[in-house]
Structure 1
Amino acid sequence: MNAIDMAIRAAAANITLSGVSKAYDAETVVIPPMDVELRAGEFTVVLGPSGCGKSTLLQMIAGLERVSGGKIVIGAREVQDLEPKHRGCAMVFQNYALYPHMSVFDNIAYSLKVSGMQKAERIQRVGTVAKMLGLSDYLGRKPGQLSGGQRQRVAIGRAIVREPGVLLFDEPLSNLDAQLRHDMRVELADLHRRIGATTVFVTHDQVEAMTLADRILILNKGRIEQFDTPKAIYHHPASVFVAKFIGAPPMNILPVTGDGSVLRLADGQVVAQARLTGTYQLGIRPEDIFICGQAGEHQVTSALRFREDLGSHSILAAELGGSVVRIATPFGVQISDRSQLFLNLPASRLHLFDAASGRAIPCALSAN
């Protein structure tokens, strides 16, 4: 561990938002009042669809957007009224924001030079960061002579050379191709394990969220849908929105009706036993549906509509209870086209949601 690693780890701080909101006018509320705490040293991913307010949230923490109300506390300091340079944060942007006329060295060293740091110390700091990020051989080049992944590493180097306690990433991988995104995810995970900075990473990509995050903050129209570990979010989604946003293919959602003893699909088939009455939404992930060779107890009947062979596995689409469900199966499962499918939906893998609010309902379901 070098001096920069130790300085960043020591500076890592909690970020606490209390009643923080953003509205441009009475009709344009981007983020209603929000209360959340991001733990020191954690890698938090803010996830959600375009327009949900995730970048606005990041920019309010950074000081690039003024809050409309509430308080932001980083460590022990209230910072919502401070200029960005006084907040102890460093930001990495989607488009890298590098100076094209400057060398890699000068891009990384720019903030140090502006702050008045002596040349010898700047050279030492930049050299340390360049070695960490595999940029030592590129310090004399201009950004235009680098690959997308290298430019992203320069942007990260420019951020961490300041030894910030908080690192903010605004969709930093979205301009990279698939292989580079994978490589950079690995590099970012390794970097975080090494320096331990409080990291807030905005993305709309669930793969980035699931692979990088200690915890994921899922936003929907500026509101927090769920804030938990990737494992908890995947296996215990708090709402239909979360259930359908996480997973590829997403969770199947089926309307069901309870008569006090069982839950039935729209076509009358029983899917589970439950002492519930009224209408609900039932969820099950594609990989949790099992195809049986013949009709039997605890099964429902569906009709195959099409299949997609993806090499390692296949995705089947079948009509069930008036809805189309996706089923993930190992590659090579023999199923004739347009065939009838007998499906087992294990009660332990079913999720129940309120039909009106979409929120999860804790409920013990048993096999039909």
Structure 2
Amino acid sequence: MNDVVIEELILPDNLDGPHGDDFRELMAVRNLVESETVGTDALSPTPESLLPHFVPNPQRHRRHFVVREGGRMVARGIMGWLTAEGAPSVSIGADVLPSHRRRGIGSQLFALMEGLAADLGRPVLQSSAIHTSSPDGERIVSSTGFGDIPADDPGAQFLLHHGYTLEMIARISSLDLTTAAASLEELRRAAAARAGDDYRVVSWIGRTPEEWLEQKAALATAMSTDEPSGGLATVADVWDADRVREHDDRQEGTGRTIYTSAVEHVPSRTLAGHTELGRLDGADKPAVQEDTLVLRAHRGHRLGMLLKGANAQFMLAHAPDTPLVTTFNKEDNEPMLRVNVEMGFVPIGAEGEWQKRV
């Protein structure tokens, strides 16, 4: 370990300027670890698409650390925390190249970040980790009782060793649009018939239209309160119209196009739910399913299927060469998982949500 150095990464203003190469190298480490775990690079973002989301903002702070051996980056760490009053937790995570595991590098990163979390006065540590989806061998079941992961998964072993508990599991799935496209219209029509005339779909590309800004903010806030959270310590993440605008600004700098469909409750002229797909421009890369939410008061009308089916069709009408869609859904969100299965999504991995109270 004498030639191993941990240093904080300075985020570049852009990838062509100072520290741009460092960020590209950090993303290469991140993507290699993830693709080695799930057996595909379908989840791997580009440096260009992720950098704008790491830029500091008033709602969330982040710090990034890298580990070098002989000048080569072999691991990275990230910590982030909401600035909302009463937020109790800090999220931390680490990626270590397979060739450099079991040498204490990940433990050093966690010790550093856990110490910084203590300095912030945050008593709850949380960590999200990608795990393999192998069905074989001994299992670790989440605290919710929904979903399990292999006990011999390296990330699971590491987090258990450091005192973390597996609170929740999100299923990572992918949909082959080349085979699913033909069935989307039938699924959408059936869902629209179930929803009835009280609901209609509105769709847009890119920035949120001014008429929907306030309601889009309400839906984004509800994502932090209505989504299943199990035993995870959470706090409402409040959005307003200005924050939606700022989010749209950052999205425009990612090289991705966001396709959004929302469902309007016609009698009240309010949005009852929404869903988003993000696609990297000019690249034969999978689209990523972003937020999907139906407000509790409007559930039971097949609006989840209506939204996801309509938005997939909307994206394909403008980007017909999109090969796949990838998505993450909590295992205890059974209604949304049923929608995914009907559409043809298949599991490719799992994301564990881990927590430790100190």
Greater gyration radius: 1
Higher helix proportion (structure 1 or 2): 2
* Normalised TM-score (structure 2): 0.24
Higher RCO (CA-CA < 8 Å; seq separation 6+): 2
TM-score after normalising by structure 1:
0.23
